[in-house]
Structure 1
Amino acid sequence: MSASGGILPTYSRYVNGAPISFTRRSFRARERTVLFLVLLTFGLVCFGTFFFLPEYRATQGRDSVYKVYDQIKRAGPDLLIPPPPHLDDEKGALRVLRHNDASQEDPHVLDDRAKLKAKIEQDEQFKVLEKPDTSANDRKSSSSTSRSNGVHQQQIGQPDGSAVNAVSEQKIVTVPAALRDHYPVITGGEPADQETRERRDTIKQMMKHAWEGYEKYAWGKNELRPISRQPHSGSVFNTLPIGATILDGLDTLYIMGLHDEFDKARDWVINDLHLDDMYSDASVFEVNIRFVGGLLACFALTGDVLFRNKAQEIADKLLPAFNTPTGIPNALVNFKTGASKNYAWANGGSILSEFGTLHLEFAYLSDVTGNPIYRNKVDHIRQFLRTLDKPKGLYPNYLNPKTGKWGQHHISMGALGDSFYEYLLKAWIQSNKEDDEARQLFDDSMQAVMQNMLQKSAGGLTYFAELKFDRLEHKMDHLACFSGGLFALAAKTLKNDLSEKYMDVAEKITNTCHESYDRTAVKLGPEAFRFSDSLEARALKMNEKQYLLRPEVIESYFIMYRLTKDQKYREWGWEAAKALDKYCRVPGGYSGLKNVYNEETGLDDVQQSFFLAETLKYLYLLFSDDNLISLDDWVLNTEAHPLPIKTVNPYYRETPM
């Protein structure tokens, strides 16, 4: 302040023309120091603002300064902190990276290291199988070392034997010695004969084409409009910024060996998947099967804890939907507020196929996180259903979560019912056949379905009709065509009095679904098909004639081939693959069809995320050796995301609770 302010010393009046005293010079030196510190602080604030403001980050592209900073930040532990000790891969001795030779170090430091070595040797029997030996897999070296939350991870997919992995947040896991030599194949699986190899390579190229279109025109959005070459905002996720195609397609990329694409998608999950930015309602069912399931599959396949942590983060956003009087979750939940509700058109009811298709993911999530809340939620659903009376032993498609009463008695093996039955069987398989309750519920429900809904047409085709208040509607959804594979799995996984009947149904249903494809102009099946005196396996209404890139028929081809080795299922799958490339491929990706009975049909301009997650994955596995995602080691969720079978599969990666 000036002298008139009464703050400066009295000698300030001698400034003009008078020599400045030693005291004044000292004051000016301090003033310059303070000014320098103020300017330095201001610069740091501006620097920090430049990097950290959310508004700035949100407006920048993939190559922003923030991303550069993020790379520096994640490299920080290596730059600033000495690396942790770890076991030598060859000798098992303690090996510490250091600048100086051990002989020159402080003896106290050497003593501490000796104690640490003794501790590790003492605990060696509890080694973590975080990343099993995958030496049989041809993992490309292009993948960079993975880092999750600043914690060092070994290169994804590379072998590391059974050495302790230095992941501080992973609890100690005891792996039975008998499992250490049994590592399922998760990439590779190249077939022996040339024709099958060429077909499989074609499917891989189809995946690359679909992915490149999405990456170029809709990156980070949910789905692609391949003709318009822009994002699709009319999917079940609307504009929810959750990258549906990325989360749904990640494991397909990995299994096919498309590791550059996989690594870029993983980077998006790290840097751009922010759940707190999501304000709209989301489907509990769709989020679970596509995103929680997809991320857990990637965790199982790679051991990268990033995927497990993101799956848990998303699942936590779904938990408020379970806060109902019965514990039956509502269909929709708001990620921001936690408010949940059911669809207005469902008359207040929750949908069987939705609340019944949570068990695989939630049970596995509890096992790999050590948190029982997820398994408890889905176990409660099953226990509640057991207390209810079921008309003719059947499960209606609607259940009121407030009153605990069934809605209208509409029963279906297709839409609204389908995957509930699937998860009863697969929960039993996932548990290594220990969840006997799930298997019993499956067998009981399938006997009721076969008795009341299984029909044969005048032309000899077997199908599942729908049941509405004791009245049969002779219509079968494309969605219901998964049941061919389901019944085959039921037949092959347990030899009992029903096994022969199950396999007979499996073969006949799969044949009927193939007929629904073969009787169209484009050799791809309709959304639904009917049976009457004048109609067999053919759509009647216009909205039934569309093909939405659905996977269910090909899913049954895949399972039937794996279990029977009948070559016709590969041939049928190849027919479908050629039809997809001929009628659905466009320069920007793949589109659904509006009318499968017209070769000049229009395209719907939507590349569904499940086309990459399911349709192309099932085709790829159909033309791969059986050891690639073996059905002895893995169970695929209803979105085709592979989850490991407990105890028999060392990729299960269970964490003690």
Structure 2
Amino acid sequence: MSRTWRYGNIYGYRNIGATIIDALDTLFIMGMNDEYNKARDWVEKSFDLSRSSWFPWKRMVSLFEINIRIIGGFLSAFALTGDPLFANKAYEVGKNVLPCFNTPSGIPYNKINPATGIPDYSSTISLAALGSLHLEFVYLSEITGDPVFAEKVTKIRGNMKRVKKPRGLYPTTVSTETGDFKSSYVTIGGGGDSFYEYLIKSWIQTQDMEARKMYDEAMNALIKNLMFTSKPSHLVYFGDSWGTTFVDHTFSHLACFAGGMFALGAFTDPTSGARPERDMQIGENITYTCRQSYVRSKTGIGPEDFYFNDQVEAMGINKAGKEYILRPEVIESYFVLYRLTKDRKYRQWGWEAALAIQKYCSVGAGRGYSGITDVYAENPEQDDVQQTFFLAETLKYLYLLFSASDMIDLNHWVFNTEGHPLPIKGKNPMFHLENTETWKY
């Protein structure tokens, strides 16, 4: 709306072209060649993460966000195009953030100043942040021949395997000093979400049986302790817990990725028995619940958080929870479920969401899309922010939902948590260095 850039502390208040990089693979997949070439040209001539910020006191960047959006964006662009520019840039950024891992436990610090290589020396990090590095770092080691990245995330995985888990659950805060949990809060939503996602997707990417076992055990624990069914509509959801005594019956838009995750887990299950059927049913049920959060609003768009109690089901009840910031997770699950089941209702649901987003979030031709502050309002106010993940995920998943199955085939590609497709070992030749064009780094 204001046509200005937006600084945020996850990017260290620096001009790094996050929207351009997050959109690279979307532009390429959609055949928007002019825009893609313009974006590539900007990356080649202007991208520099280590450039000093205009705000010396705010130079820190988030390891998690830089990895999933910037490194992930470059790696996906490389895998799709074979262009060595993107492999070089991914390697450059990867080396830039390595000092984050210089901790006693190997659990990384949250942030780093890429101009100086000095991390923030944070004492804790979220489960999602430490667990959402594996796909990118393993692939980065594969295409560069530099083992350091895979070694860092393998050490993290080993720590999370050994650490004591209450009731088999993973609390969301981990000590960078000891690698032990520092809280009792457990959620499948923000703070925990992509840790679980990367366990199953590591199995898909490299057939990592250790990751598969950890995923299966984690899902069994979540199902046993935190899965509920609402009344009277029988909507399945996961609550959040603090220890063993208090459960918050809240689900979030972020957590709606779990519909697709459970379906992928069932689809790729290496064992026999009833569990794949159970997990596919959970995936379908969660996706239906998230769909209900959309249809129960006036805009046809789901809220940031929605609740289950004696008065409401799948409805937002506080101001912050009623907003929509262009999140992709519900549409992501529609896409995954459609690809795996071919049930056309997921396309119908996705189309309805697309129409609602167009109606309420479009700012006008050539001006982009904005989040809205209240999905239950007749004429919701726009928040003047187009998140980078709107281009990286929301629009990409909508496009792929209506594309043929061989467009980013799930048998050959696995998506990182920012919607960037990465090649699968043994099924996609772009996974291996020897099968890519020779390039220097």
Query: Normalized against structure 2, the TM-score is what?
Result: 0.94
> Which segments of structure 1 move beyond 4 Å, counting only runs of 4 or more?
none
Query: What's the counterpart of residue 366 of structure 1?
Result: 141
Query: What's the counterpart of residue 401 of structure 2?
Result: 622
Query: What's the counterpart of residue 215 of structure 2?
Result: 442
Match of 1:291 among 70, 76, 80: 70
Query: What's the counterpart of residue 641 of structure 1?
Result: 420
Match of 1:268 among 26, 38, 42: 42
Take 1:615 and 1:232, find their aligned partners in 2: how far apart are those partners? 19
Deviation at 1:340, TM superposition (A): 1.4
Query: What's the counterpart of residue 455 of structure 1?
Result: 228
Take 1:572 and 1:235, find their aligned partners in 2: how far apart are those partners? 35
Take 2:432 and 2:84, find their aligned partners in 1: how far apart are those partners? 10
Query: What's the counterpart of residue 305 of structure 2?
Result: 528
Query: What's the counterpart of residue 501 of structure 1?
Result: 278
Once the two structures are superposed, the pairs formed by residues 181-580 of structure 1 within 5 Å of their partners are 227-234=1-8, 236-237=10-11, 239-279=13-53, 280-341=59-120, 348-431=123-206, 433=207, 435-459=208-232, 460-470=234-244, 471-494=246-269, 495-497=271-273, 498-580=275-357
Tell me if the contact between 1:367 and 1:655 (Cα under 8 Å) persists in the aligned partners: no
Write out per-residue CA displacement over residues 605-633 of structure 1, whole angstroms, 9 at most, x where no aligned residue. Answer: 00100000000000000000000000000
Amino acid corresponding to residue 371 of structure 1 in structure 2 = D
Secondary structure of 2:181's counterpart equals: coil
Take 1:235 and 1:623, find their aligned partners in 2: how far apart are those partners? 35
Write out per-residue CA displacement over residues 45-78 of structure 1, whole angstroms, 9 at most, x where no aligned residue. Answer: xxxxxxxxxxxxxxxxxxxxxxxxxxxxxxxxxx
Take 2:181 and 2:97, find their aligned partners in 1: how far apart are those partners? 23
Secondary structure of 2:16's counterpart equals: coil
Deviation at 1:599, TM superposition (A): 2.1
Take 1:297 and 1:285, find their aligned partners in 2: how far apart are those partners? 17
Tell me if the contact between 1:300 and 1:653 (Cα under 8 Å) persists in the aligned partners: no
Amino acid corresponding to residue 81 of structure 2 in structure 1 = T
Write out per-residue CA displacement over residues 379-423 of structure 1, whole angstroms, 9 at most, x where no aligned residue. Answer: 000111122110001111001111332111101100000000000
Secondary structure of 1:529's counterpart equals: strand
Amino acid corresponding to residue 322 of structure 1 in structure 2 = F
Secondary structure of 1:439's counterpart equals: helix
Tell me if the contact between 2:425 and 2:432 (Cα under 8 Å) persists in the aligned partners: no
Take 2:432 and 2:118, find their aligned partners in 1: how far apart are those partners? 33
Amino acid corresponding to residue 380 of structure 2 in structure 1 = T
Query: What's the counterpart of residue 605 of structure 1?
Result: 384
Amino acid corresponding to residue 356 of structure 2 in structure 1 = A
Query: What's the counterpart of residue 56 of structure 2?
Result: none
**Paired residue total:** 424
Instruction: Determine what percentage of the aligned residue pairs are the same residue.
Output: 50
Take 1:237 and 1:253, find their aligned partners in 2: how far apart are those partners? 22
Take 1:342 and 1:275, find their aligned partners in 2: how far apart are those partners? 20
Q: Give unpaired runs (5+ residues) of structure 1.
A: 1-226
Deviation at 1:230, TM superposition (A): 1.3
Write out per-residue CA displacement over residues 124-159 of structure 1, whole angstroms, 9 at most, x where no aligned residue. Answer: xxxxxxxxxxxxxxxxxxxxxxxxxxxxxxxxxxxx
Tell me if the contact between 1:342 and 1:350 (Cα under 8 Å) persists in the aligned partners: no
Q: 1:583 and 2:357 equivalent? A: no
Write out per-residue CA displacement over residues 310-366 of structure 1, whole angstroms, 9 at most, x where no aligned residue. Answer: 0010011110000011000011111012221266xxxx3111000100000000000
Q: Give unpaired runs (5+ residues) of structure 2.
A: 54-58, 436-441
Take 1:368 and 1:380, find their aligned partners in 2: how far apart are those partners? 20
Deviation at 1:651, TM superposition (A): 2.2
Take 1:341 and 1:474, find their aligned partners in 2: how far apart are those partners? 34
Tell me if the contact between 1:369 and 1:655 (Cα under 8 Å) persists in the aligned partners: no
Take 1:311 and 1:463, find their aligned partners in 2: how far apart are those partners? 37
Deviates more, 1:308-317 or 1:490-499: 490-499
Amino acid corresponding to residue 542 of structure 1 in structure 2 = K
Secondary structure of 1:580's counterpart equals: helix
Query: Normalized against structure 1, the TM-score is what?
Result: 0.64
Tell me if the contact between 1:370 and 1:655 (Cα under 8 Å) persists in the aligned partners: no
Take 2:348 and 2:124, find their aligned partners in 1: how far apart are those partners? 42
Larger Cα-atom Rg: 1
Change (3 A) 1:376 1:240: same
